[in-house]
Structure 1
Amino acid sequence: MTALRHPLFRRLLAGEAVSSFGDSALYLSLGIWAKDLTGSDSAAGLVFLFLALPGLVAPLYGHLVDRVRRRPLLIAMYGTMALVVLSLTLVDSADQVWILYAVALAYGVTFSVPAHGALLKDILPSAEATSARAALITVRQGVRIASPVAGAGIYLAFDGGALAVVDAVTFVVALVVLASLKVVESEPEPAGQPFLPAVTAGFRHLRRVPLLSRLTLALTLLMATAGLMDTAVFAAIDRGLEQPAAFFGVLTTVQGAGSVIGGLLAGMLVRRLGEASSASIGYAIFALGAGIFLVPSLGSFLAGAALYGLAIPIFDIALGTAQQLYVPARLQGRVGAAIDMLSSTAQSASITAGAALVGLVDYRIMYALIALTALTCTALILVRPAPVPEIVPSIADERIVSQA
């Protein structure tokens, strides 16, 4: 991963690793916590709905990201979240499950603000786009090898409040690391443009770049059914494996291990095959993982989780690389937000459907539908491939040219 040669990126990656560890340890445990408090699979699945809901207004966050300095914005977000997660120390009964949902909603806002990806455009030259995205995704997914088990262990040994304190500390550490960076950012988008055209500029750019629109459509289509899994997985664990809800942490750890391999593999695939072909491979692997979940055995569940982990970084890095290469610096926020809004809207609808159907429909039907959708995404990308656009230079590229 050649992006690691850049000191700024290494420190940004270190802060992201610490923050991601705390995030995944906590928010992946929120579903277990909700299940234990209420005894309801639907209540557990609603945690993931609240995580996805903020994406419905993502263009507002993208507009903000393009109008301000990204590093100070990230510092403010980390500080706010350190305080928000501490509210979980107040939860001790089913009547207070709304606090879990409120924290999940705040997490959703944090995840929907596309400041990290936008900052990468300024920090790194275009040649490092794939390497940087691969490193970030590998770290984010890789921490899931240990963090869900660590989170579940702290939760079971102490309580959710102790886990919240640990997560708050990781936010503070990430804040300190980010504050130490000296970044030359592109100039923020100037004020004065009509609000609606400015906010929706990301959607217009997606439409103008066929490769980006095709990859975005595929992700949105997948999310239209993949959200069913966020509820179905608890039913599968309960009814298929007859395991406690905490087994979700084991599946997530296995998925994290698969994601480390997927992140390392994705960089090579994108560089050799391009964004479109790589994404189609990712969706095909995802379909295979969903299909394996139809067999109610421990081995099949673990294999399915590993394949999910392997697949997600591949199509995620492919789309992220395309965004970084083919979008101007001060459209990065709005294009990222447009992608997030489309996929999150679809995901929110499917999570809601899953919460409503989990008691009425066999979880295997849900997984079969997810597998069929992923195969459709593969075909969507491969049929009549979109042309590769021209790369939009970054200020890091301009610095290299001026120094030559």
Structure 2
Amino acid sequence: MWTLLRTNRRFRRIFAGNVVTSFGESAVYLSLAIWVKDLTGSNAAAGIVFLTIAAPGLFAPLLGHVVDRVSRRRLMIGMDLGMAVLFLSLLAVRDAGQVWIIYLVTFAYGVFSASPAPPALLKDVLPSADAAAARSLILATGEGVRIVSPVAGAAVYVAFGGGALAMFGTVTFTVAALLLVSVQVVESAPEPAAERFRTSVAAGFRFVATVPILLRLAATTLAFMTVVGMLETAIFAANQGLGRPAAFLGVITSVQGAGSVAGGLVAGAAVRRWGEVRATGAGYALIAVGLLLCLAGDVPLFLVGVAAFGLGLPFVVISLGTALHLYTPARMQGRVNAAVSSVTGTAQAVSIAVGAALIGVLGYHAMYLIMAATAVLCAVSLLAGRVARPEVAPSVADDDSAAAGLEPGAGLEPKVSR
């Protein structure tokens, strides 16, 4: 990871932009919900902030179609600058009558977050051999940023008000745009739209279905997402069951975040050594162990379980992201990433709603057991069989590697993976 960051200047600048936007986004969006609550006095109105952020994810396949037909770098620069301007509109918010402006900004942020442009651009920036290391670094840093940034955003809002949030967001996205402007990338050429729009939008789903390793990884991710959303509700009941105050949830969140940082730092190496399938299976095993430890009824063991859960998640995320990067052609990256994210994101949203509805019926013990059992089944389904790794879809960045005396996709030759 550190060699990649030191030697690949293009990735270094894209990575810096990602850190800046990750900090700004996670610092601001929670504070915007607090602002809506202060303006309206309504919990429901504050909750709509999160709804407007999540809703655009349903339209990710449409965004994927756009991403595969244009310059990803220019699109990302335009989106960053657009968000910078939109955040300035928050300066007009004075009372509950202007809350719609906050919703407009958060909806635009949801579109920004749902866009598969960043992973698609990485296909053109990174040699294939660096795919796992790059995602490992991005995830670990992002998780670390999210531990501290919400506190920073809330502090800015409390000290200086909503106008300061507007300026904070504008500066964040402007810096990210400037970093991207400074990056010179030889992008893969957009393919002409030779098929009907509906056929093109659905192409990502069809491609995943035809590549066994992508289908298996996506299917297990989907299965786990259909239950893991219950944790959003169950964690509150589990905290109460431990006899801890509500503020202890902050400790739980920080411990999980620390586990995810650690997992992010090691998962990339595990993916390269073991392959995407076995690394994902190891991640689900860690998740299952963590969830079961949370049922021990002891605070220290609960925190160990939370850390193990956080440690295992990056193995799943980085393995899937690396496989999508390696085995998907450059000009299918947008639609394939969008297809997977839209389906898994929808499943997670539904499971959050189901968890909220059933917590009074099942209790948190049953929910933790259901999630742990699902994680075990996902691990077994991956590790029990064999799946062939297809040929790596070449990246234009592999040509740079070859010019430097490196073998494109070194260490990533087709083989059978457990």
Give TM-score scaled by structure 2 length: 0.85
1:95-149 superposed Cα distances (whole Å, 9 cap, x missing partner): 9877666554433322211111111111111111111111111111121232233
Q: How far apart, in 1, do the equivalents of 2:239 and 2:37 lie?
A: 12
Shift of 1:86: 5.1
Q: How far apart, in 1, do the equivalents of 2:36 and 2:312 lie?
A: 28
- In the alignment, does 2:171 pair up with 1:169? yes
Return closer, same or farther for 1:143/1:197 CA change in 2, 3 Å cut-off. same
**Deviation larger for 119-128 or 302-311:** 302-311
Q: How does 1:342-361 map to 2 (within 5 A)?
A: 342-358=343-359
Return closer, same or farther for 1:192/1:11 CA change in 2, 3 Å cut-off. same
Give the counterpart of 2:124 among 116, 122, 125: 122
**Deviation larger for 366-375 or 15-24:** 366-375
Q: How far apart, in 2, do the equivalents of 1:45 and 1:251 lie?
A: 22
**How many pairs were matched up?**
402
Residue in 2 aligned with 1:76? 78
Residue in 1 aligned with 2:386? 385
Residue in 2 aligned with 1:136? 138
1:148–1:250 contact (8 Å) kept in structure 2: no
Return closer, same or farther for 1:14/1:76 CA change in 2, 3 Å cut-off. same
Q: How far apart, in 1, do the equivalents of 2:86 and 2:202 lie?
A: 30
Residue in 2 aligned with 1:367? 368
Q: How far apart, in 1, do the equivalents of 2:302 and 2:31 lie?
A: 19
Return closer, same or farther for 1:277/1:396 CA change in 2, 3 Å cut-off. same
Return closer, same or farther for 1:146/1:15 CA change in 2, 3 Å cut-off. same
SS at match of 1:266: helix
Q: How far apart, in 1, do the equivalents of 2:98 and 2:351 lie?
A: 25
- Identity rate, percent: 50
Q: How far apart, in 2, do the equivalents of 1:280 and 1:151 lie?
A: 36
**Deviation larger for 209-218 or 302-311:** 302-311
Shift of 1:201: 1.2
Q: How far apart, in 2, do the equivalents of 1:359 and 1:43 lie?
A: 24
Return closer, same or farther for 1:250/1:323 CA change in 2, 3 Å cut-off. same
Return closer, same or farther for 1:314/1:48 CA change in 2, 3 Å cut-off. farther
Residue in 1 aligned with 2:203? 201
SS at match of 1:346: helix
Residue in 1 aligned with 2:291? 290
Return closer, same or farther for 1:319/1:349 CA change in 2, 3 Å cut-off. same
Q: How far apart, in 1, do the equivalents of 2:110 and 2:252 lie?
A: 22
Q: How far apart, in 1, do the equivalents of 2:358 and 2:101 lie?
A: 25
Q: How far apart, in 2, do the equivalents of 1:64 and 1:97 lie?
A: 30
Q: How far apart, in 2, do the equivalents of 1:20 and 1:168 lie?
A: 13
Return closer, same or farther for 1:88/1:296 CA change in 2, 3 Å cut-off. farther
1:51–1:104 contact (8 Å) kept in structure 2: yes
Q: How far apart, in 2, do the equivalents of 1:90 and 1:313 lie?
A: 40
1:212-243 superposed Cα distances (whole Å, 9 cap, x missing partner): 11111111111111222234445555675553
Q: How does 1:4-403 map to 2 (within 5 A)?
A: 4=5, 5-29=7-31, 48-85=50-87, 103-159=105-161, 162-234=164-236, 236=238, 243-244=245-246, 248-294=249-295, 299-300=300-301, 302-358=303-359, 362-401=363-402
C-alpha RMSD of matched pairs (Å): 3.1
Residue in 1 aligned with 2:410? none
SS at match of 1:362: helix
Shift of 1:291: 3.0
List runs of 5+ in structure 1 lacking aligned partners. Answer: none
SS at match of 1:18: helix
1:8–1:123 contact (8 Å) kept in structure 2: yes
Q: How far apart, in 2, do the equivalents of 1:329 and 1:185 lie?
A: 9
Give TM-score scaled by structure 1 length: 0.87
Q: How far apart, in 2, do the equivalents of 1:39 and 1:247 lie?
A: 24
Return closer, same or farther for 1:195/1:174 CA change in 2, 3 Å cut-off. same
Q: How far apart, in 1, do the equivalents of 2:251 and 2:257 lie?
A: 10
2:64–2:115 contact (8 Å) kept in structure 1: yes
**Deviation larger for 271-280 or 129-138:** 129-138
2:242–2:299 contact (8 Å) kept in structure 1: no
Shift of 1:367: 3.0
Shift of 1:370: 2.2
Return closer, same or farther for 1:232/1:173 CA change in 2, 3 Å cut-off. farther
Shift of 1:361: 5.1
Q: How far apart, in 1, do the equivalents of 2:209 and 2:61 lie?
A: 15
Return closer, same or farther for 1:304/1:43 CA change in 2, 3 Å cut-off. farther
List runs of 5+ in structure 2 lacking aligned partners. Answer: 406-418
